[in-house]
Amino acid sequence: MTTTTVNATATQTITLRPRSRRSAFDWLFALLVVAGGLFAFTRYAGAMDVYEKGILLASMPAAVALGWFWGPLRVLMMAVAGFSLLALASYHGDLANAEKVFWLKYFLSSQSAILWMSVLFFMGTVFYWIGMFSTAQAPVMERIASGIVWTAVGMALIGTMVRWYESYLVGADVGHIPVSNLYEVFVLFCWLTATFYLYFEQRYQTRTLGAFVMLAVSGAVGFLLWYTVVRDAQEIQPLVPALKSWWMKLHVPANFIGYGTFSLAAMVAFAYLIKMQAAETQWRRLTPLWLLGIALCFVPVAFRQRGVGQAGGTYWVVYAVIASLIAAGILLGRRRIAARLPALEVLDDVMYKAIAVGFAFFTIATVLGALWAAEAWGGYWSWDPKETWALIVWLNYAAWLHMRLMKGLRGTVSAWWALAGLAVTTFAFLGVNMFLSGLHSYGTL
C-alpha cells in the first residue's frame, strides 16, 4: 500500500512508503547503531568529558531517526562503518601500515579515500552532463551518475572516519575530529552538499539537477586538490588551543550544513535562470552565463596575485579554461538543458527548501559559535571578520526567507537573490581567509 503526496507549489507527484510499521531491516539497523554507540561509550568513555559523552549518546537516536526517515542512509552508514572498521583494524596501531597494507594504501587510508572521493565526484559530474545531452541513454547515464556520487559520499565519510583515527596514531594529544582546517572542512562541504542533493534528487524524482549542483561540488574538489598540493594540507596537525573544545564537534558541522545547502540552492537558482532565458536569442541578455564567466575569471586572478609559485603555477589558468568551456557549453546548449530541467515550480520549491534547511542550521551554528567564543575568549561577539561575514550571510538569507514567506517572493528575483547569496557565502567561507585576518584564521591560504 502506498500514499501519494503532492507538493502545493510543485507539479510533480511523489510516492512515499508509509512508515507506520517498521521492517526487520529497520530494527536491525537501529540495533547495530545502538550496539556500536554503546561499545564506543564503554571503551572510550574515560577519554571523553561529560559534554562529549552527551554528544555520543544523542548521536545514536539521531542516526536511527535519520536512517528511518531516509532509507538509503541506512545502507550508507552501515557500509561506511564496515569499511572504516576494516581500515582501523588493518593499522594494528601503526600509522606506517598505511603504506604497507594493500587496501589501506590504495583505498582505505584517509588520503586514498579522499582522493577516490575527488575522482568520483568529477566522474559523477561528467556523467550527469552526459545524461543531460543524451537522448535514449539519459536515464542510464543519470543512474550511473547518481551511483557514482553515492560512492563518492561513502569514500568521503570513510576518509573522514579513518583520518580521525589516524590523528590519534600521530599522537594522543594530536587526535581530533577532522573538521578543524580548510582541508578537512572542504571534504565536509563536498559530502554534505552531495548528500543533500541526493535527498532532493530522490524526493523530487529528478536527476537533471545533479548536472548543476555537482559543478559546485567539483569546484570545491578542484580547490581541495590545489590546496593539498601547494600546502601539504593532508598532513595532520595538532589543534591550536582555541579549537580544543567539544563545541567544535557541533558548531562546524552545523555551519557547513548551511554552506552546503546555500550552495545547492544557488546552483538550482542558476538552473532556474537558464530555463527562464532559454528562448532568449540576444546573447547580451543571457546575464547568468556572462556573470558566471566573470566570476570564473576572478578566481585565477584572486590566487595568482599572491605570486605564481604560491598560487600553484598555471593550475588556476587551466581551471579558468575548463570552467569557461563549461559555461560556453551551457550557453550553446541552453535550450536542450531547459527542456530537460524540471518545471520552474519544482526548481523554486527546491531552492526554498534548501535555503530553509540551511538557514535553520546556520542559525544554530551561529548561536553555538557565540557560546564557544564566550568560553574561549570571554565574549559572545567580537566583530571578528569571520563573525561579521557570518552575520551578513545570516541577514541575507533571513531577508530572503522573510520576503518569500511574508511578501510571496518567487521567480526570477528570488533566483537572482539566491545566486548572489553564493557570492556572499563564498566570501564568508573562503574570502575571509584569503584577504582578511582575525581570531578565526585557522585555515590561511
Q: Mean per-residue pLDDT for 419-426?
A: 90
* pLDDT computed for residue 288 by the predictor: 60
Q: Mean per-residue pLDDT for 285-305?
A: 57
pLDDT digits (tens, 9 = 90+) for 105-139: 999 999 999 999 999 999 999 999 999 998 888 89
DSSP letters for 96-140: GGGGTSHHIIIIISHHHHHHHHHHHHHHHHHHHHHHHH-STTHHH
* pLDDT computed for residue 317 by the predictor: 74
More confident residue, 32 or 51: 32
pLDDT > 80? residue 337: yes
Q: Mean per-residue pLDDT for 14-22?
A: 55
* pLDDT computed for residue 136 by the predictor: 81
Q: Residue 290's closest CA among 260, 270, 262?
A: 270
- What percent of the chain has pLDDT above 70? 85
pLDDT digits (tens, 9 = 90+) for 205-222: 999 999 999 999 999 999
Instruction: Name the residue ranges covered by the structural domains of the chain.
Output: 98-239, 240-445
For residues 132 and 214, the answer to whether their CB atoms sit within 8 Å is: no
For residues 214 and 125, the answer to whether their CB atoms sit within 8 Å is: yes
pLDDT > 50? residue 6: no
DSSP letters for 358-376: HHHHHHHHHHHHHHHHHHH
Confidence of residue 44 (pLDDT cuts 50, 70, 90): confident
- What percent of the chain has pLDDT above 90? 60
Q: Please state, in angstroms and rounded to a whole number, the distance separating the CA atoms of residues 277 and 133.
A: 18
CA dihedral 414, 361, 224, 178 (to 10 degrees): 180
- State which amino acid sits at residue 174: V
Average pLDDT in the chain: 86
Q: Mean per-residue pLDDT for 228-248?
A: 86
Report residue 292 as a C-alpha cell: 558566471
β-strand pairing of 3-6 with 13-16 = antiparallel
For residues 152 and 120, the answer to whether their CB atoms sit within 8 Å is: yes
Confidence of residue 185 (pLDDT cuts 50, 70, 90): very high
For residues 139 and 132, the answer to whether their CB atoms sit within 8 Å is: no
* pLDDT computed for residue 286 by the predictor: 61
Question: Coil, strand, or helix at residue 6?
Answer: strand
Report residue 250 as a C-alpha cell: 557541533
pLDDT > 50? residue 3: no
pLDDT > 50? residue 308: no
* pLDDT computed for residue 17 by the predictor: 46
Lowest mean pLDDT among 113-122, 192-201, 316-325, 331-340: 316-325
* pLDDT computed for residue 51 by the predictor: 87
Cα 349 to the center of its chain, rounded Å: 20
* pLDDT computed for residue 13 by the predictor: 40
* pLDDT computed for residue 301 by the predictor: 54
Q: Which residues pair with 15 in a beta bridge?
A: 4
Confidence of residue 5 (pLDDT cuts 50, 70, 90): very low
Which residues, 6 or more positions from 103, have their beta carbon under 8 angstroms from its beta carbon?
86, 87, 90
